[in-house]
A and B are shown apart, each in its own frame.
Chain A
């Protein structure tokens, strides 16, 4: 599969379902890798644990990152990604329920490319996810290798 990969880091099964539904609905993204906690996301990105031996040259085109995650928090995942030479430039979009100023500031300080709050309204949420998908997968240009 040569479709660009979306790495969705999300622990809430409903949000996972709704995000995937929104992205698939308009055929924006079909290749979605789901990590259900921060550790799983790191395992995927660094080729550890269940993802040992994965071809690390294949990088997601964008990572949709929730902040409140089991095991390793979203902000910590972001910090680890930005500290790594290979993953430094990986586009990271924080997609979270939190509207706390502290989270927004921390997110940007740690190098998030954007911060999107999950709207309570289903329609707004779907629109936000679809716009994100359109922008990061179709509009935004990334190098062939980072």
Chain B
């Protein structure tokens, strides 16, 4: 019962009902010759109100509430019939109100949603209930005597009905809110699941790639080595019985196996560059370039190459990747200046408004700008293998590394005048001079 009383609407409706009951009881007591049996229908009506309220309170379904309200209207009709129609005292207004009560009953299942329809149904309920109650109490259907009862009963019904509606509405809003919340929760859970799934897929794809490059490095090398070594064994052990052509063919086989080996190495490096985890740190680009320059010079000591490396270039970038980048760019410059009399390879930077641009410039063989679009594409080569060896993957790797840093790389060249590669290392890469 505390639950029922706790509800604001139920408490208000009970107060009104009690008031109505008291008023009707006083009126009955003051009316000479009134029958005590008049209390019974009154109590019946009051009970209906309580039942309606309790149904709402216990979270009754809308359809149950509708049935109770229809029963209420039926009771009103029965009261009018008992007081007016059966004793033969029925007037036009009796029939009008009975009709109205039936209309109200018919309107209930229509489920009033707007304030206007709610008001119409409430008005009908007030009139019908009040008249029915008055008829039940007094045993007469005097149109004038029911006005005070009508006001109180009407207030009661109106209060309970509108409050019920408000409660229903708030319950509906609550339900909507909860379902919206649930939907949001479900959506975020789905999102999370999606992210996890994608991450797992990505991880699986990466693992597969890792396994693939493992088998490439392991399985493709073994037959190559055997071909090369057996060709060499043939030359060593049976070279005397082979003529010049046969020995040349064997040398060609060995040369091609070596090239294929380089290709595998370069492809593996490219795939590693694309997949490795990137960590930025402050890298001394000048030092990295100097080490690479020294290595290149010692690889071909008879060559006269001048390296000009600007001192103190520091950048925030991935050390391992940028080392590969500079190896590729300086290695290219070294390779393509092979036929230049006084080879000069520069590594420096230009300060632009948009940031720092690093420059690798050589005075080597260069290339025709008509083919510039091919420079960064894998396996594309602008020189014949006879002129300059290579796999065509070096600049593709350089491009990947620069792009992973959020930077760009461009090439400018002229045949016979050398080539200039400009690259940036992304927003975080332009640091510290």
Contact = CB atoms under 8 A, between A and B. Distances in A.
Interface of A: 12, 14-15, 18, 21, 67-68, 96-100, 118-123, 125-126
A18 B219 CA distance: 17
B225 A118 contact: yes
B113 interface: no
Contact of B229 (A14, A68, A98): A14
B176 interface: no
A122 B221 contact: no
A121 B261 CA distance: 8
B231 A122 contact: yes
A108 B170 CA distance: 70
Given A96-B218, A120-B225, A121-B225, 5 more contacts: A12-B222, A67-B218, A97-B218, A98-B214, A100-B213
In the A-B complex, the 6 residue pairs with the closest CB atoms: A120-B261, A14-B226, A122-B229, A122-B228, A97-B221, A122-B232
B224 A100 contact: no
Interface string B201-230: 000000000000110011101111110111
A120 B258 contact: yes
Given A12-B222, A21-B233, A120 B228 contact: yes
Given A121-B228, A123-B232, A126-B229, A15 B214 contact: no
A122 B217 contact: no
- Please classify the interface of chain A as helix (H, G, I), strand (E, B), loop, or mixed, using the class held by over half of its residues: loop
Contact of A15 (B217, B225, B228): B225
Nearest to B268: A99
B400 interface: no
B254 interface: yes
B257 interface: yes
A14 B230 contact: yes
Contacts of B224: 120
A67 B218 CA distance: 10
Most chain-B CB neighbours within 10 Å: which of A15, A96, A118, A121?
A121
B218 A68 contact: yes
Contacts of B222: 12, 14-15, 97, 118
B93 to A, nearest CB: 98
Contacts of B219: 97
Contacts of B225: 14-15, 18, 97, 118-122, 125
B128 to A, nearest CB: 87
Given A14-B226, A15-B225, A121 B258 contact: yes
A99 B268 CA distance: 10
B65 to A, nearest CB: 71
Contacts of A125: 225, 229
A121 B260 CA distance: 10
13 contacts: A15-B226, A67-B218, A68-B218, A97-B225, A98-B217, A100-B213, A100-B214, A118-B225, A120-B221, A120-B257, A120-B260, A121-B225, A121-B261
Contact of A118 (B221, B257, B260): B221
A21 B268 CA distance: 30
Given A122-B232, A122-B254, A123-B232, A99 B217 contact: yes
Contacts of B223: 14
A97 to B, nearest CB: 4
A119 B231 CA distance: 15
A79 to B, nearest CB: 19
B259 to A, nearest CB: 10
A12 to B, nearest CB: 5
Interface string B226-260: 10111111000000000000000000001001101
Nearest to A98: B218
A123 B224 CA distance: 13
Contacts of B257: 120
A83 B2 CA distance: 76
Contacts of A98: 214, 217-218
A126 B236 CA distance: 13
Nearest to A15: B222
Given A119-B225, A126-B229, A97 B217 contact: yes
Contacts of B230: 14, 18, 122
Contacts of B218: 67-68, 96-98
A117 B332 CA distance: 26
Most chain-A CB neighbours within 10 Å: which of B228, B231, B260?
B228
Contacts of B221: 97, 118, 120
Contacts of A122: 225, 228-233, 254
Contacts of B229: 14, 18, 122, 125-126
A118 to B, nearest CB: 6
Contacts of A100: 213-214, 217
Nearest to B230: A14
Contacts of A121: 225, 228, 258, 261
A99 B223 CA distance: 16
B84 to A, nearest CB: 99
Contacts of A118: 221-222, 225
Nearest to B215: A68
A102 to B, nearest CB: 8
